[in-house]
Amino acid sequence: MLAAAALAAVLGFPARPSQPAEPAPDFTTAPYGRTAGAAAEEAPPPAQAPPPRRVLLPDVGVDARVAPVGVTDRGDLAVPDDPSVAGWYRYGPAPGSVAGSAVLVGHVDSDTGAIGEFAGLYDVRRGDRVEVRRAGADPVRYRVLSRVTVPKEELPPSAFRRTGVPVLTLITCAPPFVPERGGYLSNLVVTAEPVESGRAQWPT
Amino acid sequence: MIHRTRLVIAASAGACALALGVSSPALAEQQDQAMVSVFHGIPGMTVDVYANGDELVGDFKPGTVTDPKSLDAGTYDIQIFEAGQSPDGTPALQKKIEVPEGANATVAAHLSADGKPELTAFTNDVSQVEAGKSRLTVRHVAAAPAVDVRAGGQPVFTDLTNPKEDTAEVDAGTLNTDVVLAGTDTVAIGPADLKLAEGTSNVVYAWGSADDKNLALATQTFSGMASSPRGVPAGGSGAAVATNSADLGPAWAAGAGAVAVAGVLVARRVVRRRG
């Protein structure tokens, strides 16, 4: 009986995929991926910046510990199981590197039902502040440039580029949520640009 | 760099030669480039390398490999002279090498299995490597019998003979490797730690002579082959979208128990998918 109910619940999903609770619409300043840098392909890899330890978005209340991550056996980005922890894609640039996209990723929610720290990304707006604290180095500051929602299979490769202008890319999952197709079908991708190091304050 | 200047001369000479071979000079301008590097694996002999009569590499020492250089695609008459000898004489080695458009090739001067100097052109696989991986290629260019290449004591490549190569994508990181006589535990070279960076292609030359007890490894690395992870599975139960679960209607609201069970089913599916 319970199993039948569960089945019904699962089957009941596709007709009405869940929608986010009226998030702010996505925004971009330019077509996503405009900075993909083929020209810099020949450049030697820059010296590695120190690893990130913590990421904060004070405007939306995100404050997450950061752990380095790689890929799973099947080649997916290995997202930390704990939704309060963000993963830094350690094969790509670190935040503060002179080139390329530093990727931080976090679960929007966990298999146990906890809401992830990166769920706060649903509320970011252009110009929001991002701070990445690092081991043995000054924090790096960014401001949000764009937020896009893309089907998971269309995650722009530029999010993982290793060359071109430096950006911070924050990724989590986004609705629609369709359990029988593996859960969330989209990725929310927030791109932030470095705030010039000369400025003591974030721009307002 | 002296080498670069020499190379430009060699390249333009190559283009001229090719222009003679085609019906219209305009075609020559459309010729694509190829990346060419040279490996020197003949022990005890410093050499000069000439391509179509122009010096490509001078004072080239054994066990070294040049950086890849862009050359016009085409046929090159490669000549190897003992360093400082006049290129008008008889070369120690000579071979015509075809360099196709868009290719990335390494010309290896090395010993055959029975110890005779020879030239072999290898094509370097510089296609994208899967995220988290590194490409490892081993080329047997030594005066030695068939070998196995092991990593952490386990065979990665088996029964490799001169002048063959074998290649595999392996997890990026440091690999403790050695080379053994095929089918035995008799170590011929190593052990040696290979640092295989993610998104790179690493070519290891097993070179030298078993008889002269100077077998060694030399490595050539190509970078810029990184690719993105397949996907970013950053969601779990759907709890983050459950705030509007009322939208799902009475059927959904009917039983919290059903929701919980469905959640578990989903979790299991997700775990399996990740596996």
Residue holding tokens 């809401």?
A115
Rounded to two decimals, the ipTM of the complex is 0.72
Which domain, by its residues, includes A103?
Answer: 49-194
Alpha-carbon span B275 to B270, nearest angstrom: 9
Structure tokens at B180: 């053994």
Predicted local confidence at residue A34, as pLDDT: 37
Predicted local confidence at residue B168, as pLDDT: 97
The CATH code for residues B1-124 is 2.60.40
CA-wise closest residue to B123 among B91, B98, B142, B144: B98
3-state secondary structure chain A: CHHHHHHHHHHHCCCCCCCCCCCCCCECCCCCCCCCCCHHHHCCCCCCCCCEEEEEECCCCEEEEEEEECECCCCCECCCCCCCEEEEECCCCCCCCCCCEEEEECCCECCCCCECHHHHHHHCCCCCEEEEEECCEEEEEEEEEEEEEEEHHHCCHHHHCCCCCCEEEEEEEEEEEEHHHCEEEEEEEEEEEECCCCCCCCCC
In a domain, A110, yes or no: yes
Chain A segment 115-174 residues within 8 A of B by beta carbon are 115-116, 118-119, 122, 152-153, 155, 157, 159-160, 162, 171-174
Nearest to B232 among A8, A114, A187 (CB): A187
Distance from CA of B10 to the nearest CA of A (A): 22
When the candidates are 2.60.120, 2.20.28, 2.50.20, 2.60.40, the CATH number that belongs to B127-232 is 2.60.40
Residue numbers in chain B where pLDDT is lower than 50:
1-30, 243-275
Q: Do domains B1-124 and B127-232 have the same CATH topology?
A: yes
Q: Find which of B104, B126, B171, B237 to mutate to test the A interface (most A CBs within 10 Å of its CB).
A: B237
Predicted local confidence at residue B171, as pLDDT: 94
Question: What does the pLDDT look like over B74-109, one tens digit per residue?
Answer: 999 999 999 988 788 899 999 999 999 999 999 999
Residue pLDDT tens, chain A, 204 long = 444 444 333 333 333 333 444 456 777 754 443 333 333 344 444 467 999 999 999 999 999 999 999 999 999 999 999 999 999 999 999 999 999 999 999 998 887 878 899 999 999 999 999 999 998 899 999 999 999 999 988 888 899 999 999 999 999 988 888 888 888 889 999 999 999 755 445 554
Kindly list the domain boundaries of chain B, sorted by start residue: 1-124, 127-232, 239-274
Contact of A21 with chain B, judged by CB distance below 8 Å, is answered with: yes
Predicted local confidence at residue A197, as pLDDT: 58
Predicted local confidence at residue B242, as pLDDT: 61
CA angle, corner A31, sides to A27 and A36, nearest 5? 125
CATH code, A149? 2.40.260.10
Strands B147-151 and B104-111: unpaired
Question: What does the pLDDT look like over A83-110, one tens digit per residue?
Answer: 999 999 999 999 999 999 999 999 988 8
In a domain, A10, yes or no: no
What are the chain B neighbours of A152 within 8 Å (beta carbons)?
231-233
Predicted local confidence at residue A174, as pLDDT: 87
Work out how many domains chain A is built from and give that number: 1
B29: left (phi over 0), alpha (psi -120 to 50) or beta: alpha
Alpha-carbon span B66 to B54, nearest angstrom: 16
